[in-house]
Structure 1
Amino acid sequence: MDRIVLGNEEFEGRNNAYVLTDEETDDLALVDTGVSTPDIRSDLEEGLAARGYEFADVDDIVLTHFHVDHAGLSGEIQAESDATVYVHEADAPLIEGDSDAVAALEQRRRDLLETWGVPDEPKDELLTLLGGVRAIEGDPADATPIEDGTVLEVGGTTLETIHAPGHAAGLCCFEIRDGADDRAAESGNESGTEAFVGDAILPVYTPNVGGADVRVDRPLEKYLETLRLIAGREYDRVWPGHRDPIDDPAGRAMTILEHHRERTGNVLDVLREHGPADAWTVSAHLFGDLEGIHIVHGPGEAYAHLDHLRHEGIVDLENDEYRLVVDDVDLEELVSETG
């Protein structure tokens, strides 16, 4: 797989932009683009130049989701190339910079920070940081919405869209339909299928759930479904939005699921030891002091688990505090591998 590694020590580490080309037609597609900063733009321009291309040559851009470290340069590339920008319909308004969608996201975040109990000082720090993030969001792009099951023919490659929400409402994996039989023969894997997975699973970190996209209802439940989906597809290899390829995707998905099972147990322990608490307090017991983007990711992660426990009838919510009402909890059943 041809990938350009983009500098970025924030947001889960180095970003990847994947290059798809058709040798016969010279069609060129990118999967994700990186943030809109001069350094990252140079990384991508130099990577394309080394392959004999420039921004103006890009025919299609496929975005795994709306986050700035994946979509930031899409508008600038489209302005130079008139490329088609594909993104899930849930994220398309944000890619287009729709003022109502942006305002709704920001208001939802403010409301949740309040109900999670985030104190004023860290809240102000976070909102100042997020204000600065706008500078790397890049120009809006005209988006072509896609949905689960949409098949794309880009850069000489057939991609099937697999909606994989949790980390983001519109996050999608893109299953590579070409060459699966050849890869199966080479690897011995019956599937031979590979996929671009964005931040659905990552090789080092566990993708944040709850704070990374506050639009997602029942974020942990949706993410667990995504992990089971990826494991069930039996991919031979997947290509994440950050760092190196994952050669055992099903194993990695189940490792992350087990991580969330353990975290659910930790959340229950906090409520047992300290009594009713809001998401910020639970987060403090789990993660300690937080700064930067973790001011939303920490309580967001706590919220995702508390919300799941509430829907399962294990905790009650009153005045923004969660109270344990069922003490004997089967974690294997609650966060299961089968759903």
Structure 2
Amino acid sequence: MERISLSNSAFEGDNNAYLFAAGRETALIDTGDWMATTREQLEAALSERGLAFADVDRIFLTHWHHDHCGLAGEIQAESGAEVYAHAADAALIEGDEDAWDAMYDRQKRYFEEWGIPEPKQDTLLEFMVNSEATTETPTVTPFEDGETFSVNGTDLEVVHTSGHAAGLSMFEAALEGERQVFSGDALLPVYTPNVGGADVRVDRPLEKYLRALQGIVDADYDRAWSGHRDPIDDPAGRAQYIIDHHEERSWRVLDALDRLGPCDTWTVSADLFGELDSIHILHGPGESYAHLEHLEREGTVVREGAEYRLAEGVSDELAAIEGERWDLEY
């Protein structure tokens, strides 16, 4: 297995594609985005190894976001490669109009529900239109959690990790005598994957993502090959850090409601993240919503229409532990 680093202008850092070519077939995990620069980089990396798009037999996608699946259609068009993705994401990757219309409709409902100001909505929509893929989309073979694929003698087991995206999946493998995992965006070495805004189809996004992270902690992998940047040598430690990070963020949401009084999601987002632009106009309130919704189900927050407030007695509890809960960076 070889890691191929592909440029990405987004904040998460360079994307990774993973090449399996030591055997009778050539396979990739993720492809990078659809930009011409990325295509040139991936073609060059394959060429250095005596390969081309036409030689790729199979592609395994971690999820539907364009920076991970963007070139799958072009590779499939040249090679006839079989493209695999979780069933929850297959229709979006295939460019199914009904699936995308349902996504856009739900996003627009949330824009109103979260209280995103109209000028910010316009900015976000313009960014999203300009970011839409214009390349060929693939035909996808769907998989489910627990399925296993053998690639040149290496078994890749699907581990579904919904939260950041409905179909986000990792691929567990035994490599070099170690238990390793290709984590996609479920586990990143620097940033914490957005939940709530990155895929508005996910119900209870924070609950599902925390469950996925606990699964990574329990698995205690030797190494994670991330969707962005460098590999992670302590996946369990990194997963636990992100769990703690989200606990800290929940405290900050409660503190915001305590200081501001009843308010909508956009107001909480502004308190947490400040001024937002481009895709962060979606990610900021999306993350805030994920926490507010989670806290509402836990009973510490009450929702009334589009506004949230602290449940009875929570303000007193916050005052009693003031100064003991601001340890993590956020």
Q: Tell me the alpha carbon deviations over residues 280-321 of structure 1, each in whole angstroms, 9 at most, x when there is no partner.
A: 000000010000000000000000000000111111111210
Matched, 1:322 2:320: no
Matched residue pairs, number? 317
- Confirm or deny: 8 A CA contact 1:29 1:155 kept in the other structure: no
- Confirm or deny: 8 A CA contact 1:21 1:156 kept in the other structure: no
User: What is the alpha-carbon distance in structure 1 between the residues aligned to residue 111 and residue 262 of structure 2?
Assistant: 18
User: What is the alpha-carbon distance in structure 1 between the residues aligned to residue 171 and residue 244 of structure 2?
Assistant: 24
Amino acid in the other structure paired with 1:8 = N
Partner residue in 2 for 1:46: 44
- Confirm or deny: 8 A CA contact 2:87 2:144 kept in the other structure: yes
Partner residue in 1 for 2:325: none
User: What is the alpha-carbon distance in structure 2 between the residues aligned to residue 135 and residue 141 of structure 1?
Assistant: 12
- Confirm or deny: 8 A CA contact 1:267 1:306 kept in the other structure: yes
In structure 2, the CA distance between the partners of 1:155 and 1:32, relative to structure 1 (3 Å rule), is farther
Partner residue in 2 for 1:269: 255
Matched, 1:18 2:18: yes
Instruction: Name structure 2 gaps, 5 residues minimum.
Output: 322-330
Q: Tell me the alpha carbon deviations over residues 41-95 of structure 1, each in whole angstroms, 9 at most, x when there is no partner.
A: 0010001111110000000000000000000000010000000101000000001
Matched, 1:157 2:160: no
TM-score, normalising length: structure 1:
0.91
CA shift at 1:22, angstroms? 3.4
Partner residue in 1 for 2:226: 240
- Confirm or deny: 8 A CA contact 1:20 1:156 kept in the other structure: no
Partner residue in 1 for 2:326: none
In structure 2, the CA distance between the partners of 1:49 and 1:156, relative to structure 1 (3 Å rule), is farther
User: What is the alpha-carbon distance in structure 2 between the residues aligned to residue 80 and residue 205 of structure 1?
Assistant: 34
Matched, 1:193 2:190: no
* Residue from 25, 28, 31 that aligns with 2:26: 28
Amino acid in the other structure paired with 2:291 = H
Counterpart of 2:20 in 1: which secondary structure?
strand
Counterpart of 1:305 in 2: which secondary structure?
helix
TM-score, normalising length: structure 2:
0.94
Q: Identity of aligned pairs, percent? A: 56
Partner residue in 1 for 2:129: 131
CA shift at 1:141, angstroms? 0.7
Counterpart of 1:277 in 2: which secondary structure?
coil
- Confirm or deny: 8 A CA contact 1:11 1:69 kept in the other structure: no
Partner residue in 2 for 1:311: 297
User: What is the alpha-carbon distance in structure 2 between the residues aligned to residue 301 and residue 18 of structure 1?
Assistant: 29
Counterpart of 2:126 in 1: which secondary structure?
helix
CA shift at 1:278, angstroms? 0.8
Counterpart of 2:133 in 1: which secondary structure?
helix
Matched, 1:220 2:218: no
- The 5 Å alignment of 1:107-122 reads 107-122=105-120
Matched, 1:287 2:273: yes
* Residue from 87, 92, 95 that aligns with 2:93: 95
Partner residue in 1 for 2:286: 300
CA shift at 1:196, angstroms? 0.3
Counterpart of 1:303 in 2: which secondary structure?
helix
Matched, 1:8 2:8: yes
Counterpart of 2:5 in 1: which secondary structure?
strand
CA shift at 1:11, angstroms? 4.8
In structure 2, the CA distance between the partners of 1:108 and 1:42, relative to structure 1 (3 Å rule), is same
